[in-house]
Amino acid sequence: MKILIVDDEKDVEMLFRQKFRKELRNNEIQLDFAFSGEEALEVLGSENPPSVVYVFSDINMPGMTGLELLEKIKSKYPNILVSMISAYGDSDNYNKAINSGAKGFFTKPIDFENLKTEISQLIKQKEG
């Protein structure tokens, strides 16, 4: 199962690779990274249909925000699930994300156990 992580902070890649070391080694998931909303759309558009099934995007990024990216993904690729992450757990961002079709909403620092639970449920749904 291919997951796309979108965050303008480059150190996020190392963190995710470390936290999902076992899942990556067992080929349960594949991680792709994009460091802007524009780059994320390029990754998704590079395959038809995209092999990415889950996008995990930061909200606060320069250029295209995560919420703008969410709307573009949902209109062009309605089957791709998207969860948002924000350093601020404010209800305004939460409501905008959920109302725009986000599957989940995480606050930084990320609770990786919750995220792993969500991903393992997705894997089970895909297999079932």
pLDDT of the residue at 54: 95
d(CA 68, CA 87): 17
pLDDT of the residue at 124: 84
For position 47, which CATH number holds?
3.40.50.2300
d(CA 57, CA 4): 8
Domain range enclosing 106: 2-127
pLDDT of the residue at 56: 96
Mean pLDDT per 10-residue interval, the chain, length 128 residues = 96 96 95 98 95 96 97 96 90 94 92 92 79
pLDDT of the residue at 40: 98
* This prediction's pTM: 0.94
Count how many domains the chain has.
Answer: 1
